[in-house]
Amino acid sequence: MAVAMHAVLLLFLWVGVSWQNNEPTEVQAEIWDMKVQDAAPPAPPPEPKPEPEPQPEPEPVKAPPPQPVQAPPVPKEDPEIALERLKAKKKEEDRLEKLEQARLKKEADEKQAKLDAKKKADQKAKEDKEKAEQEEKDKALAAEKDKKKAAAAEKLAKEKAEKADKAAKDKAFAAEMSRITGSAAKGTTGTAAQSTGGKVDGGYASKIRAKIKSNLVYGSQDDSLAASYTITQLPTGEIIGIRKVKSSGSAAYDNAIENAISKSSPLPTKNDGTVEREITLDFKLKEMH
């Protein structure tokens, strides 16, 4: 209120000073005498007055600075109330800190759970891959084992068949020999048909090879080919077995030799009419032309 009164007072003072500084307005008048018949000469024009020098504008009156408003004194707080307030503030801070720690722990647990799940999944994928690879290896080993087992069984069966065939041939040979020797004892055939052992003479082998050569059908001119076969025959020269001892490396040549041997039964006998029960011969293509 005091400040407002001072401001109004200063405003009235400034208006009063401004009004006193205004210059008066010049007024001119002419006087006429009605009794004078003749017109008086006109009055000379008044000399112009010099213009007043411009007055400096009055400096505005500075208003006094407002008095600082003093804040009302803060009433002193009851110590117990202040203590309770501090306790409440500390309790709230502790609660917020616990919430923040719980949030951080939850985030850390979730992150660790994801890492553990990924690690577990990677480990399982690795184990599954290793298991699949091991199963493939086991299958391959089992297949190889079965293959070897089948090959061994086939070999055993072949050996058994060969033994059985050999036994049958031996039995047939023995029966034929018994028949021939029995006939010879009665004087029907003499000794020409008896089977003899010992070394194979060159003439006998040449006669057999010549007969087989006459039945050979093979068109290649590769003279490096050579195969060996063992021929089993009866005392009559009838072929009862052909076994390959050495391959020529050419299946076509081997087959051609076997076919020629089969077509040559019965084989020629020795000069004395006997035969070799088993005879092994080499068949070189350069000698079979």
Give the DSSP per-residue string, 159-182.
Answer: HHHHHHHHHHHHHHHHHHHHHHHH
Q: Is the pTM for the entire model greater than 0.85?
A: no
Among 67-71, 76-80, 133-137, 176-180, whose mean pLDDT is lowest? 176-180
- Quote the CA–CA distance of 37 and 57 in Å, as a whole number: 53
**Domain boundary assignment for the chain:** 83-158, 202-287
- Quote the CA–CA distance of 233 and 162 in Å, as a whole number: 15
Percent of the chain with pLDDT over 90: 45
Question: What is the average pLDDT value for the chain, to the nearest integer?
Answer: 80
| 102-133 confidence digits (pLDDT tens) | 999 999 999 999 999 999 999 999 999 999 99
- If we measure between CA atoms, which residue out of 216, 267, 272, 217 comes closest to residue 240? 267
- Its CATH architecture, for the domain 202-287, is 2-Layer Sandwich (3.30)
Structure tokens at 124: 């399982």
The predicted pLDDT at position 82 comes to 87
Given a cut of 90, whether residue 140 has pLDDT beyond it is yes
Distances (CA, A) of 154 to 10, 140, 167, 208, 246: 137, 20, 19, 33, 21
> Which segments within the chain are labelled E, that is strand?
226-233, 239-246, 278-284
- If we measure between CA atoms, which residue out of 236, 232, 231 comes closest to residue 274? 236
Top pLDDT among 228 and 68 is at 228
The predicted pLDDT at position 78 comes to 80
- If we measure between CA atoms, which residue out of 289, 242, 288 comes closest to residue 265? 242
Q: Which residues touch 141 (CB under 8 Å, ≥6 apart)?
A: none
